[in-house]
Chains A and B, each alone.
Chain A
Amino acid sequence: MKIGIPRALLYYYYFPFWKAFFEALDMEVVVSEETNKGILNKGIKESVSEICVPIKLYIGHAIQLLNKEIDYIFVPRMVSIQSGEYFCPKFMGLPDMLRHGVKGLEGKIITCQIKSDSDDISAPENYYPMAEVLGVTKEQIQVAASVAREQWIGFRMFNKSGFTAVEAMKMIQTNDSLEVLLNNQQSSKPVLRIGLIGYVYNIYDPFLNMNIIEKLRELNVDFITFDMLEEAQLQEKIKDMEKTLFWTFSNKLLGAGLRLFHEPTIDGIIHLTAFGCGPDSFMGKLFEFESDQTGVPFMSIRVDEHTGENHLQTRIEAFVDMLKRKKFIA
């Protein structure tokens, strides 16, 4: 059987798990191509217009997989990965949104409900509902989930040690971590270090964010993202808050941001957000307050469907200039 996985949303967080899981069940895994204008346009056309661009991209990626002779597209219903916290409702309704809202996807979606009390989503019960459609036994699922867990832990280890999720994926897939490591270190010693705060699907999709990671590296700026921090580090600053944000990943980002504002090695913080993201509007304001208190410069960059790269370039350059002058002239 051939299973398609859209290169969008939590692909950048869980793909190593899902790939290993399906492969352990003797399935072939196909990933949609890297985001391009064609994928975005398809996604926009098939989505309701008010929805955020990461969801539109997910839909575009799912449609693209239809050309790849897949049997099913795996669209999990992400419910919770932290007790008492939930995913943004768009994640919870994702399989239905695709099945019933997008032409051609009915009957092509395979789904299951993911509930867990931590980022580790390997509990086999999550995946039992797929056993019948996949034609496998519960025992096979148990084995596959544990194999997948190993892979995911390997990926996460690289990610947590400071590599981007995309690099970490390459490192476990090719077993050639050395090469990635070398490529990563080729550039000269970074002059600045910033916190790049954003959801994985915003910071790691170079099309959506007009390659912000590459732009920062060209300017010789090192960065740290929330997924590079340990869970305990993410929770530290928010566990005493009277009320946190509603959704799991928003809380992780908030925890990362609040922490980085107080990290002496961090020169500034950039918040990358997709237009129309509700939770981010709260978070952005909280970061503004934190910036005022700590004196650490902060900037929000909002991405959307438009492709004008000029404004992004100008903002990043100006922000980096400001940090450099502050650091080296003052």
Chain B
Amino acid sequence: MVKAYIGIDVGSVSTNVVAIDENANVLFNIYIRTNGQSIDSVKKGIESLKQQLDHRKYTISGVGTTGSGRQIAGVMVGADVVKNEITAHAVATTYFVPEVRTIFEIGGQDSKIIFIKDGMVVDFAMNTVCAAGTGSFLDHQSERLGISIEQFGDYALASKNDVRIAGRCTVFAESDMIAKQQYGFSKPDIINGLCQALVRNYINNLARGKKLEPPFVFQGGVAANSGIKAAFEKEIGHEVIIPSYFNVMGAIGTAILAKEEIQKTGKKTNFRGFHALQTDFVPSSFICQGCSNNCEVIKVKMNGQTVAMWGDRCGMWQEKVSQVVI
């Protein structure tokens, strides 16, 4: 039997599942739109993994989760490693592009910049509360312009004129775009202006005057957009590499971390097994009335039994669950 490791990245917009082997070769990968249904998306991803991975050949030896939904996904599948997105992305990128110095990552609702030196994260920044210039914004604009997000890049590359769109805030960007449409600029010009605005905004907000060193790697769902790639190359005046698995890098990273963890500790994986998919996971939330913090406590039940709780500031509910033996 060959050992395989699963990585799951549950983000706001997409849920990605990958399986890698001992040498971090990608055996399977899938990118699913989360649509607010993180549990279903994880189930869907694991289900197709089960169908496509040869059971007679591979055995699951470790699982890692990452992304904003890493906790719940970790509980569902029985993760060995639950890691933040920054570490996960950096691990995957340095694996594929060992000499990388700067990683641009733009996802559904957040964007990051990660600075690497000698394969090590030396600095990073994430967008603040505002989601301006991320994938969801592009989604929204593509809908408004009536073209699919997949065509965005081609439109941008077909642009003939430079149109300047304000990129500081999506609300202004949108009114600017409407104004430019009314002036009669073509769709490709406007889309190209938008791509440039997004990149300008990204560089201003995240790089904040720091020196950007090549090689540059651009990943995350938005890297599918050739218009943004071109805008990046124009802005920084250097080639930008898009790795082949650009949209599932977080999942690959956490799978690598799970592999390292298992190899280091020699432990048996916590993976609940594929049959766990049949299990009913029901998340619910309630407002705790214990004090005036009125915390929203998230509760996850597996087959009627509470297996995880979080969200309470005092830790009272988390404590109760940890006492229950699963």
Say whether B291 contacts A36, CB under 8 Å. yes
Q: Residues of A contacting B123 with CB < 8 Å?
A: 297-298, 322
Residue on B nearest A326 in the bound complex, by CB? B120
Distance, CA A330 to CA B118, complexed state (A): 9
A318 near B: Cβ within 8 Å?
A: yes
- Cβ of A311 under 8 Å from chain B: yes
In the complex, which residues of chain A have a beta carbon less than 8 angstroms from the beta carbon of B122? Answer: 297, 322, 326
Q: How far is the CA of A330 from the CA of B313 in the complex (A)?
A: 36
Which of the 9-residue segments B27-35, B83-91, B164-172, B212-220 touches chain A?
B83-91
B124 at the interface (CB under 8 A from A): yes
Return chain B residues, CB-CB under 8 Å to A36.
291-293
Q: How far is the CB of A100 from chain B (nearest CB, A)?
A: 27
Indicate whether B144 reaches chain A with its CB closer than 8 angstroms. Answer: no
- Asked whether any CB of chain A lies closer than 8 Å to the CB of B303, the reply is no
Given known A-B contacts A302-B128, A317-B87, A329 and B293 have beta carbons under 8 A apart: no
Q: Across the interface, do B293 and A37 meet the contact criterion of CB distance under 8 Å?
A: yes
A321 to B120, CA, bound (A): 10
Is B126 in the interface zone, CB < 8 Å from A? yes
A315 at the interface (CB under 8 A from B): yes
Q: Which chain B residues (111-136) contact chain A, with CB distance < 8 Å?
A: 118, 120-124, 126, 128-129
> Interface size (A, Cβ < 8 Å)?
30
Taking a contact as CB atoms closer than 8 A, the residue among B68, B118, B124 that contacts A310 in the complex is B68
B294 interface hit (Cβ, 8 Å) = yes
> Which residue of the partner chain, among A288, A313, A325, contacts B120 with CB atoms under 8 Å?
A325
CB distance A321 to B293 under 8 Å?
Answer: no
Contact B292 A321 (CB under 8 A): no
B268 close to chain A: CB less than 8 A: no
A-B contact count (CB 8 A): 65
Q: Return chain B residues, CB-CB under 8 Å to A37.
A: 292-295
In the bound assembly, the distance between CA atoms of A314 and B85 in angstroms comes to 7
Interface centre among B87, B124, B126 (most CB of A within 10 A): B87
Please tell me if A98 contacts chain B, counting CB pairs below 8 Å. Answer: no
18 additional contacts (CB under 8 A) given A330-B118, A330-B120: A36-B291, A37-B292, A37-B294, A38-B294, A288-B208, A304-B129, A306-B129, A308-B129, A311-B129, A314-B126, A317-B83, A318-B87, A318-B124, A319-B124, A321-B86, A325-B121, A326-B122, A329-B120
Could you tell me if A318 and B86 are in contact, using CB atoms closer than 8 angstroms?
A: yes
Let me know if B84 and A311 touch, CB within 8 A: no
Near B by CB (< 8 A), chain A positions 282-298 give 288, 292, 297-298
Query: In the complex, A321→B129 CA distance in Å?
Result: 22
Q: Cβ of A207 < 8 Å from any Cβ of B?
A: yes
Q: Is the CB of A315 within 8 A of B126?
A: yes
Q: Is the interface of A mostly helix, strand, loop or mixed?
A: helix
B313: A residues at CB distance < 8 A: 206-207, 210-211
* Contacting residue for B84 out of A288, A292, A318, CB 8 A: A318
Q: Which of B267-326 contact A (CB under 8 A)?
A: 291-295, 313
- What string of 1s and 0s marks CB contacts (under 8 Å) between A80-114 and chain B? 00000000000000000000000000000000000
Chain B residue total in the interface (Cβ 8 A): 23
A39 interface residue (CB < 8 Å to B)? yes
Q: Are A321 and B128 in contact (CB under 8 A)?
A: no
Cα distance A37–B83 in the bound complex, in angstroms = 29
Q: How distant is the Cα of A322 from the Cα of B90 in the complex, in angstroms?
A: 10
Q: Convert B125-162 into 0s and 1s, putting 1 for each residue whose CB lies closer than 8 angstroms to a CB of A.
A: 01011000000000000000000000000000000000
Shortest Cβ distance from residue A122 to the other chain B in the assembled complex, whole angstroms = 36
- A39, B292: Cβ atoms closer than 8 Å: yes
Contact residues in B for A297 (Cβ distance below 8 Å): 122-123
Q: What residues of A have a CB within 8 angstroms of the CB of B292 in the complex?
A: 36-39
A322 x B68 contact (CB < 8 A)? no
Across the interface, name the chain A residue whose C-beta is closest to B211.
A292
Q: Which of A308, A318, A330 has the most CB of B within 10 A?
A: A318
Interface residues of A in 111-155 (CB under 8 A from B): none
The interface residues of chain B lying within 8 Å CB-to-CB of A317 are 83-84, 87
Residues from chain A with Cβ under 8 Å of B208 in the complex: 288
Q: Mark B47-86, 1 if CB is under 8 A from A, else 0.
A: 0000000000000000000001000000000000001111
In the complex the two chains form, what is the Cα distance from A297 to B313 in whole Å? 29
Q: From A289, which residue of chain B is reached at the shortest CB distance?
A: B209
Q: Which residues of A contact B210 (CB under 8 A)?
A: 292
CB distance from A184 to the nearest CB of B (A): 18
Contacts of B291 in A (CB 8 A): 36
User: What's the minimum C-beta distance from B84 to chain A, rounded to whole angstroms?
Assistant: 4
Establish whether residues B84 and A314, one from each chain, have CB atoms under 8 Å apart when the complex forms: yes
Binary flags per residue of A149-171, CB closer than 8 Å to B gives 1, else 0: 00000000000000000000000
Q: Which of A206, A308, A311 contacts B126 (CB 8 A)?
A: A311
Chain B residues whose C-beta falls within 8 Å of the C-beta of A321 in the assembled complex: 83-84, 86-87, 121
Complex formed: what's the CA distance from A39 to B293 in Å?
9
Say how far B103's CB is from chain A's closest CB, in angstroms: 13
CB-contact partner of A314 in B86, B121, B128, B293, under 8 A: B86
Chain A residue, CB-CB nearest to B87:
A321
Q: B38 to chain A: closest CB distance in Å? A: 13
Closest B residue to A39 by CB, please name it.
Answer: B292
- Minimum CB–CB distance from A213 to chain B (whole Å) comes to 13
- Most central of A304, A306, A308, A321 by chain B CB within 10 Å: A321
Q: Tell me which residues from 185 to 214 in chain A have a Cβ below 8 Å from any Cβ of chain B.
A: 206-207, 210-211
Residues B84 and A322 in contact, CB atoms below 8 Å apart: no
Report the Cα distance A39→B292, complex, angstroms.
8
Residues on the A chain within 8 Å of B121, using CB: 318, 321-322, 325-326
